[in-house]
Structure 1
Amino acid sequence: MKKEDLLRKLGSRKFWACVSAVIIALIAFTNAAPETTERVVALVSAIGGLCIYMLSEGIADSKPSDVTNYIETKDYREE
């Protein structure tokens, strides 16, 4: 797996929803208290949100900001 693929997956909301679902299923399987389930879901959601934010900011910062668009006038000359 390439680094770009891994970063894309870590930044996916679907991935974090899947992680949350697996953790909730494991907690339910162990007959944990509802309060424990709520706390673990909150923790996973916070970590997922933080990962998505960090990845999106890193991608945005890695792109050059001094790019200017210009139009070639020779493309629009009337002949």
Structure 2
Amino acid sequence: MNPFNLLQLKPSWERFKFNHPRLLPFLKAATAESFIDQGTLIEINVINSTGRTISSNVRINSDDMEFLQSFKNILNS
């Protein structure tokens, strides 16, 4: 992954955070210490403007915990 590409996303990310102010607090709460542990089920549902739905889920395993810690550190920076 090219780090420069991530820098190009910064203005869009700032706009996204402004447009959806409840998302970051939700993600921070979900990644709070001890809330997500091995065996946690994360489910995502997307409903488009016509009402069509797509869903998926993942069960967190021990390998995922390191990634989630890194994700938490990014959210808190």
| TM bin (shorter chain) | 0.3 to 0.5
* Bigger Cα Rg: 1
TM-score relative to the length of structure 2:
0.36
TM-score relative to the length of structure 1:
0.35
- Please state which structure has a larger fraction of its residues in helix: 1
